[in-house]
Amino acid sequence: MQPTSDGPTPLSSARVRLALLALALGGFGIGSTEFVAMGLLPNLASDLLPGVYAASPEAANAQAGWLISAYALGVVVGAPTIAAAAARWPRKQLLLVLLVVFTLGTIASALLPTFPLVLGARFVSALPHGAYFGIASLVAASLMGPGKRGQGVALVLSGLTIANVIGVPLITWVGQVSGWRSAYLIVAGIFALTFAAVWLAVPWQAGDRAATMARELKAFTHVQVWLALGIGAIGFGGLFAVYTYVAPIVTDVTGLGHAAVPWVLVVIGLGMTVGNLFGGWLADRSIRRSMYLFFAILVIALVGLAFVAQFVVGLLAGVFLVGAASAALSPTIQTRLMDVARDSQSIGAALNHSALNMGNALGAYLGGLAIAGGLGYLSPVWVGLGLTLLGLGLAVLTFAIDKARMRRDGVTYATGPLTTV
């Protein structure tokens, strides 16, 4: 039996597992809606931008990448705004409202007829993304108990990574066969199912009664919060520069058919699933070591992918490692943000997804510029490498500041989770 975060009322182990599963199902839906566009990018480009596609498929694919950037920017805007404004709401109630927005926004993405309207729908449907993961992570951490925040965050994120193993490849295949609009209708159904699961399984939890928007926004006054955001926003560009253009890499660089794209997405998803769980475990032991280790693996993976993507085995090994290292960094960065945000826990938990989706927008945009500039479909890999190295540099800086401050205060520098800013 485990207590809720709001009082002594115990929950059975079975109820806790069901609640965590319901929260992870939301992550599955978010992973599906966020990443399915990567595999269907040529389909989106040819249907929504027929004139551009007829003249230049590369230019159309690059412009269709704006749909991914629009979703990412929606996350960036929505995560801190909703988390700060609704920190006092009961957490279950807030999760249900966010799931309604997800469902309606995804339906609109599937039904609207033109590229600008679909672009707007992708932005709106992304607004709840960061707030959902932030609040769900706080709920999961309270259900898991003390000392397991990283694992609680990883369990919620596991829905997103599993989506990349099962949901994204399967929905991509459906979209290739039946049209990309049917893919988004399936995703909307997943969100509707999640609404029912959260309603039935997640226990009521009060919001932070002492929270105010001013207190939550105070997180932005801490330098270490900005550095942690920079680590995610820039460092994660390495993943998304590759992931956004994985379909043309598979077909034009490796020389495989469109039918191979879902299988490559499965491999990326497997890497993400393994990396996420291991990253959550290691983050509970040492945020600093976890971040250094997985940034180093990501650098090696991107360099390797750039040189061997023309070979099937090289492509699969490269994208697996890129997915694994990137996903392992996610719970690490989120735990770091929750530490350095101090009392602003709701916004600290949500800001990670703003940061990662800034990386999504940045990677997709810069990778698209490289392709549109005639540098080829492998150029986003090199763009991603540059962004990853910058993210690693920020990680070195943030922990150097911690170390200097702790020495100044006469505290022995620790390798585990740090709460000083």
Sequential DSSP letters for 211-258: --HHHHHGGGG-HHHHHHHHHHHHHTHHHHHHHTTHHHIIIIIS---G
Examine residue 126 and state whether it is found in any structural domain, yes or no.
yes
For 10, the 3-state DSSP assignment is strand
Whole-angstrom distance, CA of residue 30 vs CA of residue 3: 28
pLDDT 10s digits, 108-117: 999 999 999 9
β-bridge partners, 2: 11
- Residue among 210, 202, 179, 244 nearest 343 (CA): 210
Examine residue 417 and state whether it is found in any structural domain, yes or no.
no
pLDDT, average across residues 93-101: 93
Examine residue 134 and state whether it is found in any structural domain, yes or no.
yes
Q: Are 264 and 165 in contact (CB under 8 A)?
A: no
> Tell me, what CATH number does 49's domain have?
1.20.1250.20
Task: Identify residue 190 by its one-letter amino acid code.
Answer: I
Based on the structure, what is the number of domains in the chain?
1
Please report which confidence band the pLDDT of residue 59 belongs to, taking 50, 70 and 90 as the band edges: confident
CA angle 325, 326, 331 (to 5 degrees): 100
pLDDT 10s digits, 12-52: 777 888 888 899 999 899 988 887 887 788 888 888 888 88
**Which has the higher per-residue pLDDT, 305 or 262?**
305
Number of residues that make up the chain: 421
Q: Which of 197-211, 381-395, 403-417 has the lowest mean pLDDT?
A: 403-417
Q: Which residue has the tokens 């090289």?
A: 314
Examine residue 90 and state whether it is found in any structural domain, yes or no.
yes
- Helix residue ranges per DSSP H, 163-212: 168-178, 180-201
Whole-angstrom distance, CA of residue 369 vs CA of residue 239: 16
Q: Considering Cα of 172, then 174, then 175, then 176, what sign does the dihedral take?
A: positive
Distances (CA, A) of 300 to 28, 326, 389: 28, 12, 11
Domain that holds residue 367: 2-408
Q: Which residue has the tokens 């590759």?
A: 242
Whole-angstrom distance, CA of residue 191 vs CA of residue 185: 10
Query: Is the pLDDT assigned to residue 137 strictly greater than 70?
Result: yes
Q: Which of 77-91, 265-279, 367-381 has the lowest mean pLDDT?
A: 77-91
pLDDT, average across residues 378-391: 90
Q: Which of 37-51, 314-328, 403-417 has the lowest mean pLDDT?
A: 403-417
CA angle 107, 109, 111 (to 5 degrees): 70
Examine residue 18 and state whether it is found in any structural domain, yes or no.
yes
Task: Identify residue 350 by its one-letter amino acid code.
Answer: A
Whole-angstrom distance, CA of residue 196 vs CA of residue 193: 5
Please report which confidence band the pLDDT of residue 78 belongs to, taking 50, 70 and 90 as the band edges: confident
**Which has the higher per-residue pLDDT, 356 or 104?**
104
Please report which confidence band the pLDDT of residue 411 belongs to, taking 50, 70 and 90 as the band edges: low
Which distant-in-sequence residues (6+ apart) come within 8 Å of 409 by Cβ? none
DSSP letters spanning 42-88: HHHHHHH-HHHHHH-HHHHHHHHHHHHHHHHHHHHHHHHHHHHHTTT
Q: What is the pLDDT of residue 216?
A: 66
**Which has the higher per-residue pLDDT, 237 or 341?**
237
Examine residue 420 and state whether it is found in any structural domain, yes or no.
no
Examine residue 264 and state whether it is found in any structural domain, yes or no.
yes
Whole-angstrom distance, CA of residue 226 vs CA of residue 152: 24
Query: Is the pLDDT assigned to residue 89 strictly greater than 50?
Result: yes
Whole-angstrom distance, CA of residue 345 vs CA of residue 215: 10
Query: Is the pLDDT assigned to residue 265 strictly greater than 60?
Result: yes
Most confident of 9-18, 33-42, 55-64, 178-187: 178-187
Please report which confidence band the pLDDT of residue 303 belongs to, taking 50, 70 and 90 as the band edges: very high
Examine residue 415 and state whether it is found in any structural domain, yes or no.
no
**Which has the higher per-residue pLDDT, 217 or 91?**
91
- Residue among 369, 96, 364 nearest 240 (CA): 364
Instruction: Give the burial class of 57: count Cβ atoms within 10 A of its Cβ; 0-12 exposed, 13-18 middle, 19 or more buried.
Output: middle
Q: Are 28 and 167 in contact (CB under 8 A)?
A: yes
